């Protein structure tokens, strides 16, 4: 576990422009000093992310928002007050100090205060903004343990802070607050229902080309196995046909149907929707470890965090339907 010495070392790494992987409640982030263009360029190179993609700036507390935002729209204020620290990112008009490398030249900057003790200790000790995408190579499955980060990034990261497994397991919900009405640009840890209750009105989900960026690309969060989302009563027939074609087949479902062919590798079933989110990326990694060709997934109910699980399953499979 992480102690004060580790935090000081991590701060020193950040101050000299290095990369620190750290836990958040959603997924592990690959962090650097958000004020340093050189550190940001190095981070992009390690991540393998094309230039021009923006990153989220993590802050120690709501009181830092004013430094990074030119103005704080009412919707951003309401949502941040209610959800921070927590799995919500808001996009607000950027302040002048925000480097272009953070926003990819966009007029808005994405900011969030994570709800994880190690992340908060690091942010408070650093006393500034830490830019951090998920700590995986571009397009791959996001890491939810320190070991996942090490497997994916190896010695390209200067320091990995191990804060145990992430409690939420899917990325933050991102709300763009720069337009006339706030819009969801990525569903995640905070459900749409909660945003609407806080705002007092309905909120749109926007999937336009304007903000096309890593987490919003159709194929993302992808393991090597083909992930196919289907209904529970379709699994048996689909699996039989795929097995007959000589493929290794797995199944991920809250309630796996008992009638699936014996050859199907049934991954440990999550106990409920929140647990599904928590273990989703671990199960996708497991599918690759087991060398599965196809992973069938039965979607959980779409309410609450279920919507984020469904979104990630579809993106893992490269579906263009969401």
Strand extents, DSSP E, 75-163: 88-93, 108-112, 130-131, 159-160
Burial readout 221-257 (b: 16 or more C-beta within 10 A, e: otherwise): bbbebbbbbbeeeebeebbeebbeeeebbbbbbbebb
| CB-count burial class (<10 Å; 0-12, 13-18, 19+) for 17 | middle
Of the candidates 162, 75, 179, 63, the residue with the CA atom closest to the CA atom of residue 119: 162
CB 221 within 8 A of CB 142: yes
Out of 132, 228, 251, 313, the only residue in the binding site for ligand TXA (CB under 6 A) is 132
**Distance (Å, whole) CA 266 – CA 240:** 14
Site string for ligand TXA, 23-62 (x = CB under 6 A): -x-xx-x-----------------------xxxx------
Q: Tell me the sheet residues that pair with 248.
A: none
Interface with Mg ion (CB under 5 A), residue from 26, 134, 172, 278: 134
Interaction mask 79-98, ligand TXA, x per CB under 6 A: ----------x-x-------
Site string for ligand TXA, 225-264 (x = CB under 6 A): ----------------------------------------
Work out whether 75 is an interface residue with ligand TXA (CB under 6 A): no
CB-wise, 75 or 142, nearer to Mg ion? Answer: 142
Minimum CB distance to ligand TXA, residue 176 (Å): 7
Q: Please, what is the minimum distance in Å from the beta carbon of residue 105 to ligand TXA? A: 9
- Please count the residues of the chain: 322
Among Mg ion, ligand TXA, none, the one that 130 touches (CB under a kind-dependent 5 to 8 A) is none
Give kind and range of the element (H or E) at residue 295: strand 294-298
Q: Nearest-5° angle of CA 69, CA 78, CA 216?
A: 65
What φ, ψ does residue 134 adopt, rounded to 5°?
-60, 145
| Contact with ligand TXA (CB under 6 A) among 60, 129, 215, 256 | 215
Q: Does 141 bind ligand TXA (CB under 6 A)?
A: no
Q: Which does 163 bind (CB under 5 to 8 A by kind): Mg ion, ligand TXA, none?
A: none
18 binds ligand TXA (CB under 6 A): no
Taking CB under 6 A as the criterion, the residue among 213, 229, 299, 307 binding ligand TXA is 213
Question: HSE on the CB side for 31, CA within 13 Å?
Answer: 31
- Residue count, binding to Mg ion (CB under 5 A): 1
Cα–Cα distance, 31 to 34 (Å, whole number): 8
Encoded tokens for 145: 């343990």
131 near ligand TXA, judged by CB under 6 A = no
Candidate ranges 129-137, 149-157, 231-239, 297-305; the one touching ligand TXA (CB under 6 A): 129-137
Instruction: Count residues near ligand TXA (CB under 6 A).
Output: 27
Q: Among all residues, whose Cβ is closest to Mg ion?
A: 134
Q: What is the DSSP letter of 248?
A: -
Selected from 113, 146, 174, 292, the binder of ligand TXA by CB under 6 A is 174
Binding site for ligand TXA (CB under 6 A): 24, 26-27, 29, 53-56, 89, 91, 103, 106, 108-110, 114, 132-134, 171-172, 174, 211, 213-216
Binding site for Mg ion (CB under 5 A): 134
């Amino acid at each position: 576990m992480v102690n004060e010495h580790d935090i000081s070392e991590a701060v020193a790494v950040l101050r000299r422009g290095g990369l620190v992987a750290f836990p958040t409640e959603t997924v592990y982030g690959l962090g650097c000093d958000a004020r340093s263009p050189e550190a940001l360029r190095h981070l992009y190179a390690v991540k393998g992310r094309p230039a021009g993609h923006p990153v989220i700036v993590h802050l120690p507390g709501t009181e830092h928002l004013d430094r990074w935002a030119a103005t704080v729209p009412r919707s951003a204020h309401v949502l941040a007050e209610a959800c921070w620290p927590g799995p919500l990112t808001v996009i607000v008009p950027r302040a002048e100090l925000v480097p272009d490398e953070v926003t990819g030249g966009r007029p808005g900057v994405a900011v969030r205060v994570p709800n994880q003790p190690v992340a908060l200790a690091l942010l408070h000790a650093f006393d500034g903004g830490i830019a951090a995408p998920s700590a995986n190579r571009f397009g791959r499955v996001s890491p939810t343990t320190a070991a996942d980060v090490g497997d994916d990034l190896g010695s390209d990261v200067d320091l990995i802070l191990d804060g145990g497994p992430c409690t939420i397991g899917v990325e933050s919900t991102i709300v763009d607050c720069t337009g006339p009405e706030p819009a969801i640009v990525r569903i995640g840890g905070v459900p749409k229902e909660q945003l609407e209750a806080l705002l007092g009105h309905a909120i749109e989900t926007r999937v336009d080309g304007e903000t096309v960026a890593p987490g919003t690309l159709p194929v993302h969060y992808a393991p090597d196995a083909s992930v196919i989302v289907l209904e529970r009563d379709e699994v048996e027939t689909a699996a039989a046909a795929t097995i007959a074609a000589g493929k290794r087949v797995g199944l991920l479902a809250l309630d796996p149907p008992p009638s699936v062919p014996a050859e199907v590798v049934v991954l440990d079933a999550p106990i409920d929707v929140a647990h599904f989110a928590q273990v989703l990326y671990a199960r996708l990694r497991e599918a690759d470890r087991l060398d599965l060709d196809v992973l069938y997934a039965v979607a959980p109910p779409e309410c609450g965090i279920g919507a984020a699980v469904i979104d990630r399953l579809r993106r893992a499979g490269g579906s263009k339907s969401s």
